[in-house]
Structure 1
Amino acid sequence: MISPTIPDLIARAAHHPFLGEHLAMGQGAHAGIALAHFDGIELTSAYEPIFDISVHGLAQSLSCGAEGVDRFGDELGFQAVTHRLGAPPFDVFDPFDNIADDQQLVALDRMSRALHAINFFGPQRHGLLFLRVHERLLKSVKYDHGLHFSNVLTSFNLSPARIVIELPAAAVAHKTFLGYLTRSYQHYGFKVAGNLSNAGQILSVSETARLDFIKMDASVALRDATVKPLVGYAGRLKVPLIFNRVMDETQFSALQQYDVRFVQGPLFNAHYHDRAA
């Protein structure tokens, strides 16, 4: 089967009333990528790599310096970031910040996820696509979480199996709700990751909420000296643990003192995109 290109996927999106109104191919310098037009702003996708640092024995390669980008390992996948066209790479921008109406937020969230899927699968990127879900969306959609997006992907001839729905820490904190959300998204073919706001939240992850991934802020875990117990507990659960927001070489070195496998953050973004360019 021939994989669809970005123009193919935009053509298919045109058959969806809402997506067809807001998604289009870029022009000029931005030709070849999909854009979203929302509330007078042009949005596109950026992708943060998530590295498997167990691959290349990186403890011996730290002396290479951060410019040795291949030392980070192989990509597990990429986390999508909504990006304002023309802004600096990974400029902090959240289009959801000023939206008060829940239904408008649901529409924007669905548009963003479709945009990122098109820009990810159209160029035949490898690995998994991690997509954040806004906390308010989880409360606004009452049941069948994942059904709508699964239907959209099916209409695009794309599989949900390579998409990881990333739940906010507020959802992970409620064990029953976490279990329901995890089962619902997995029922529709997605993988599910849960963000922890602190190490203690990992206790919410159980057989009733069998997450596919756990994510933890590296700065918080290092500050609280919880990297080792988190790695150990996640290992017993057999759930891969990703330390995100790794800021610098010092944090990276500290994480490598433990059996940390997956990392993500600003330290890796610039080097990865310099290499990709």
Structure 2
Amino acid sequence: MIAPTIPELVARAADHPFLGEHLAMGTGAHAKEAVARRRGVELLSAYEPIYDISVHSGAQSLTADLAMASRFGDELGYQAVTLREQNGLLAPCDAFSDTLDDPDLVAVDRMVRALHAINFLGGQQHGLLFLRVHERLLKSVKYDHGRHFSNVLVSFGLNPGRIVIELPAAAVAHRTFLGYLTKSYQRYGFKVAGNLPNAGQILSVSDTPRPDFVKMDAASALRDSMVKPLVSYAARLRIPLIFNRVTDAAQFEQLQQYDVRFVQGPVFAAQDKVV
């Protein structure tokens, strides 16, 4: 089934008691996308690709031409990034920087996640959409994590199964809490990714229920010579491992030596275009 278009989803959001106050179609250069407006600030969506580099055998060196990085793989999905316009330029921003209390943070988080889902799914983009969840939100919502967002998506005619809820490292560091969150989000139809605070923390995801993905900072794993052990252990667990924040060609080529499959990061920015 084809998802509703962005204008259709924004129209549906207008009937929502909270989202209707903040979501609208953009203007000018952003007339074809949804925007969120809060406290005089306009927020927009961008998406950083997560590549499956195993799909092309005999990959070439990136050093010669960084602009051709995308030829090395197909997209598993995209990481949502929140933007705001500053001095005529779009730049990533922290939508939570001026939130003062937990109810406000919950509201902003729900607004931003709905914004990204509408632009991504309504824009008929392929693959999975990875959405970060703020650490304080996880503590502010006492139970049934994922229920509200799942209900919103279903009411809009969208599939929660296309969404990956990305848990922060602080949540992954606590095995019991990680298990509870993973089970709760998966119960409401989402997939779950966990950011590892360090390589050894992959042991926390060995219990059931398990996240659908784990993420590790590429620079940290390379510095500590932990790429090979991480790849091996993740393969035993059958959990896809994503190395993120890959910043340059040297890191990318080192990762390739260890049969890494999924990567994302600034190294691909020269070729990648905001979708």
User: Contact 1:78 / 1:129 at 8 angstroms: preserved in 2?
Assistant: yes
Aligned pairs for 1:145-184 within 5 A? 145-184=145-184
Offset of residue 85 of structure 1: 3.1
- Say whether residues 1:269 and 2:262 are aligned partners: no
Offset of residue 98 of structure 1: 2.5
User: Contact 1:23 / 1:37 at 8 angstroms: preserved in 2?
Assistant: yes
Offset of residue 201 of structure 1: 0.8
The runs of 5 or more residues in structure 2 that have no matched partner are none
Match of residue 137 from structure 2: 137
Offset of residue 104 of structure 1: 0.2
User: Contact 2:66 / 2:270 at 8 angstroms: preserved in 1?
Assistant: no
Aligned pairs for 1:119-268 within 5 A? 119-268=119-268
- Say whether residues 1:83 and 2:105 are aligned partners: no
Helix, strand or coil for the counterpart of 1:24?
Answer: strand
Rounded Cα–Cα distance in structure 2 between residues aligned with 1:107 and 1:25: 20
User: Contact 2:70 / 2:268 at 8 angstroms: preserved in 1?
Assistant: no
Match of residue 38 from structure 2: 38
Helix, strand or coil for the counterpart of 1:230?
Answer: helix
Taking only aligned residues, the RMSD between alpha carbons, in angstroms, comes to: 1.5
User: Contact 2:242 / 2:264 at 8 angstroms: preserved in 1?
Assistant: yes
Helix, strand or coil for the counterpart of 1:272?
Answer: coil
Match of residue 25 from structure 1: 25
Match of residue 12 from structure 2: 12
User: Contact 2:37 / 2:43 at 8 angstroms: preserved in 1?
Assistant: yes
Helix, strand or coil for the counterpart of 1:95?
Answer: coil
**CA deviation string 1:28-56 (max 9, x = no partner):** 22100000001211001010000000011
Rounded Cα–Cα distance in structure 1 between residues aligned with 2:77 and 2:160: 14
Helix, strand or coil for the counterpart of 2:55?
Answer: coil
In structure 1, give the amino acid aligned to 2:233. Answer: Y
Match of residue 103 from structure 1: 103
The runs of 5 or more residues in structure 1 that have no matched partner are none
User: Contact 1:58 / 1:71 at 8 angstroms: preserved in 2?
Assistant: no
In structure 2, give the amino acid aligned to 1:267. Answer: V
Match of residue 115 from structure 1: 115
Rounded Cα–Cα distance in structure 2 between residues aligned with 1:152 and 1:144: 14
Moved more, 57-66 or 179-188: 57-66
Rounded Cα–Cα distance in structure 1 between residues aligned with 2:63 and 2:78: 26
Would the alpha carbon gap of residues 58 and 129 (structure 1) be closer, same or farther in structure 2, given more than 3 Å must change? Answer: farther
Match of residue 48 from structure 1: 48
Give the TM-score normalised by the residue count of structure 1.
Answer: 0.95
- Aligned-residue identity in percent: 71
Give the TM-score normalised by the residue count of structure 2.
Answer: 0.96
Rounded Cα–Cα distance in structure 2 between residues aligned with 1:46 and 1:109: 16
Offset of residue 64 of structure 1: 5.0
Rounded Cα–Cα distance in structure 1 between residues aligned with 2:213 and 2:58: 22
Offset of residue 271 of structure 1: 1.1
Rounded Cα–Cα distance in structure 2 between residues aligned with 1:44 and 1:146: 23
Rounded Cα–Cα distance in structure 1 between residues aligned with 2:126 and 2:35: 21
User: Contact 1:172 / 1:196 at 8 angstroms: preserved in 2?
Assistant: yes
Helix, strand or coil for the counterpart of 2:103?
Answer: helix
Moved more, 50-59 or 135-144: 50-59
Offset of residue 122 of structure 1: 1.1
User: Contact 1:35 / 1:44 at 8 angstroms: preserved in 2?
Assistant: yes
Offset of residue 70 of structure 1: 3.8
User: Contact 1:196 / 1:215 at 8 angstroms: preserved in 2?
Assistant: yes
Would the alpha carbon gap of residues 183 and 81 (structure 1) be closer, same or farther in structure 2, given more than 3 Å must change? Answer: same
